[in-house]
Amino acid sequence: MNNIVQPGRGVLFMKVGTHAKETLPEIIERKLREVDEAGFAMWGYGGNTCHPLTMVQPFAQEFGGDGKPIYLCMEEMNSRHFAEPLSAAEYSADGKTWEPVPSAIDVRGSRYALLIDDLREEHFDLPLSQTRVPIGPSQGRIGARYVRGQVDKACLEVLDEPELPNEEDGTVRKIGLVARLRPPYAVLLRKYREPA
């Protein structure tokens, strides 16, 4: 255990790699620059397992109460995400009110984005057998049984003790990158502009 993976804490797990024709080191460099210039960055993603309105925001509000930070814990993977690097022009925290993405922020090839204000390398093990999905249609499912196959991201609660699944392979994930989320935690994206 470390200061991020503690019983009762909520963490967002995500596999990361090449995205919209950009390597992970290039993405990290750009996101660090965005945090310096805008005070935060938008970490783009897709898929419905961590929908901003129905999963990430309620999860972060529940586990981020009393000023507790919510961390995005990222495991590097080989990725072949070569979608066009179109950059979102607008974002919304509720799907009703839309605002322009700040000019210092470039969020490419994504339908959604996590709002982060800190990004750093940090290396530790995330034991998925000691986590569970605390919200949504898979609520109660052990993280090791949920994060497999095409599932590459999840909102997870850290448990006091591991529940040992039948299969032990792949239940411990090697985290190498961590970001702290900031309210409203996750947003919807739309429209496009030329990348900065």
Task: Report whether pLDDT(165) > 70.
Answer: no
Q: Is 73 helix (H, G, I), strand (E, B) or coil?
A: strand
Task: Return the structure tokens found at 57.
Answer: 């925001």
The arithmetic mean of pLDDT across residues 55-75, rounded, is 93
Q: Would you tell me how many other CB atoms lie within 10 Å of the CB of residue 50?
A: 24
* Confidence band, pLDDT 50/70/90 cuts, at residue 192: confident
At 164 the pLDDT is: 62
Alpha-carbon distance 36 to 31, whole Å? 9
Single pTM value for the model: 0.92
Closest CA to 195 of 95, 68, 94, 110: 110
